[in-house]
Chains A and B, each alone.
Chain A
């Protein structure tokens, strides 16, 4: 009988490297399924797409609010209520002269009557332009700095002293409820993103647990042959990363497509307010980073799940 081929002391001579994790290819070989399986990649894709839409919405709202705030922060409107048209024009001119002389006023514009008529037409009908319905004169005032309540009060006092029937309003005051609504929507978007991240982690947790349960025998064998937790974790990690990468990519594409289409719809509205809500390149960079964050979250969740399951084994 020939001598058994036992000459080399292989496993032991390499024991210095024993703590090295399995290299990629071998790790992949150990678990036959290359995916966590089933619907998980698509679940991740849907979550990522929704996060992309929510994030784009939140960013657009934030741009919108910032632009509006910047436009309107120093904007003040002066109304002059006077039934007699000639007198009204006179008062408006007086008030404008007075306003332009103020230190903190940078520009003053008396809004022409026909412009006012056009603005009011949708509400008042054809009659808006006629002299029959008295409409107040309007003066747009741009302050050199953001308006503060005491400045408004001071302007009002100055005007009251010279011209009767004026009313000074900061435009940002009118828009306060709009800002509140915008920031509420932004918080909603944030909360949505948080919930989606949670749901995504939960899906990966469930999938990792069932993948682990399916391959429990293999894991036990690997343990008994001297495999470390790190080596076992790496095997599963690979499936998680693959699935999350697939889901992340598909989700990003779907989400970005939806955002682009929505953007076109809003652009078609051609409203001054919505135009301020576009996304610039830094916003798109944030959106592009969402799948990466999703992969990182899935990886972390998968790792923790597997390590926790391993802790329960000897």
Chain B
């Protein structure tokens, strides 16, 4: 497998099956570059969440090779996984907030796990909650929040540590278009600071809002790459080929 500095993610012929079911992902080969903005699209059940699970290290593939941050993730010992997970920010499709923690504590959780002192995290966490419009809800538990509020907490938690890669699964599914746009601006701002962003979405309108984005399309577990933007070896960086209007 070719290895180039600069790749942040490298999939080579990856397949995934759950149990003895048929493969839900097949023959995935692609490269993601640091600092790029990717949309992952595809019909419901196409395998978007499954692909993201491989990316956020919640799942190991049934076959193929995955390298992330220049390291082989297949042979990586369990004990080293946390180190790599801390470089990721993840917005889960089902949010995955900790039920008995407040919005504030949920957002603070990745920082606390990384050993940041309480005195150092109060302001950034408050600022972030403010930015996603949840200052009033800072002390609320997830069960008392609306879907959109929970989603914003999940997003705040994903970006608070300024990860090397942001992985978001339908991050705007539960918010109004105005908030969706604001959240997208948050991802772009993070992207400009150097974070690689991968956003899975059905929302075609969203794709048009980020002109410099690259698009990965999944169809029944296979990657559709009509313009070769994701192929091995890919085109030079800056290629903004697979546009949304080609979908």
Contact = CB atoms under 8 A, between A and B. Distances in A.
Contacts of B86: 11, 15, 18, 225-226
Contacts of B56: 224
A282 interface: no
Interface residues of A, number: 38
B202 interface: no
Nearest to B162: A9
Contact of A228 (B60, B82, B98, B116): B82
Interface in B98-131: 98-101, 105, 109-116, 118, 120-121, 124, 127-128, 130-131
B85 A226 contact: yes
Contacts of B113: 22, 222, 225-227, 231
A17 B161 CA distance: 14
Interface string A1-32: 11111101111101101111010001001111
Q: What band does the interface of chain B fall in when counting residues whose beta carbon is under 8 Å from A?
A: 35 or more
Nearest to A227: B113
A161 interface: no
A26 B112 contact: yes
Contacts, number: 125
Nearest to A226: B86
Contacts of A1: 182, 185
A2 B82 contact: no
B96 A11 contact: no
A80 B161 CA distance: 97
Interface stretch (B23-31, B38-46, B186-194, B225-233): B186-194
Contact of A18 (B78, B114, B127, B128): B114
A5 B127 contact: yes
Nearest to B58: A224
Given A29-B105, A30-B98, 13 more contacts: A6-B186, A8-B124, A14-B111, A14-B120, A18-B115, A224-B56, A224-B85, A225-B110, A225-B113, A225-B157, A226-B83, A229-B79, A314-B81
A-B CB proximity, top 7 nearest: A11-B161, A226-B86, A17-B115, A5-B127, A32-B100, A226-B85, A20-B115
